[in-house]
Amino acid sequence: MMDLDREEACAAISLPASMSAPLVGYEWARDNVGESGGAVYRLHSKIGAPDLFLKHGRSSVAGDITDEMVRLRWLGRYIPVPAVEGFVATQDEAWLLMTAVPGQTAYQILEAQPDTGIGIVDALAAFLRRLHAIPTSECPFNSDHAYRLSRARERIDADLVDEDDFDDEREGWTAEQVWEAMQHLLPMPSDPVVTHGDFSLDNILILDGEVVGCIDASRVGIADRYQDLAILWNCLGEFDASLQDRLIEQYGVAEADERKLQFHLLLDEMF
């Protein structure tokens, strides 16, 4: 069933010839959630065929989609993620076709059933520990804060940062002000693990109280564990501050590092 708050029916988009034939017969819906700058479509209701998701983007977004394709193929060896069903890239455009992960997002469940918060947070913390336990020696991708700061600087200089989408704490700030605030928190010691990079409630799928997979993997790579903890901690604050404390406890951190939380939330504003 279509969730009208999260997606809307649309016509099929133009596709590369190698992708178009297998997708005949699907109904299309465009996703309204997410801030990647590209477009995400759910393909559904084809008799005898599973639901699929298609990502499409141009310019810098095409590069992000390519990054996600490569990371999904690697990460799927360790944790459940969408399987890549097809991928096409040109000089300035990319299309990524993936299987659908079952369940609902953690955000959807918390919004509809706030009394499930403790159980959901416990499941999220367990999954995050599982992700962070992947040996860094096996991960070919770097996403540490030095690398992401360089990307952030490029985005600021190219005027790609959406200042209107900053969190409430930074409403009215410019990207340069966020940049300066980050500099005041450096140097930042690192505790590297394999991170998702955008571990938000909208990117984690849950079924019957258990995490069954994660999506939006374009930022996967070795980084400080607070890259993931900060984003999830911030998301939980939209529901109940006690859930933030529960996350830190269940993940296994003795006490939250407020400096790292602040730094990684500032850094996330750049993307």
Known catalytic residues are 198
**Distance, CA of 82 to chain centre:** 13
Structure token digits, residue 34: 């997410």
Structure token digits, residue 145: 């804060």
DSSP letters for the chain:
---TTTEEEEPPPP--HHHHGGGTT-EEEEE----SSSEEEEEE--TT---EEEEEEETHHHHHHHHHHHHHHHHTTTS--PPEEEEEE-SSEEEEEEEPPPSEEHHHHHHH-GGGHHHHHHHHHHHHHHHHTS-GGG---B--HHHHHHHHHHHHHTT---GGG--GGGTT--HHHHHHHHHTT-S----EEEE-S---GGGEEEETTEEEEE---TT-EEEETHHHHHHHHHHHTTT-HHHHHHHHHHHT-SS--HHHHHHHHHHHTT-
Helix axis angle, 241-251 relative to 226-236, nearest 10°?
Answer: 150
Backbone angles phi, psi at 131, to 5 degrees: -60, -45
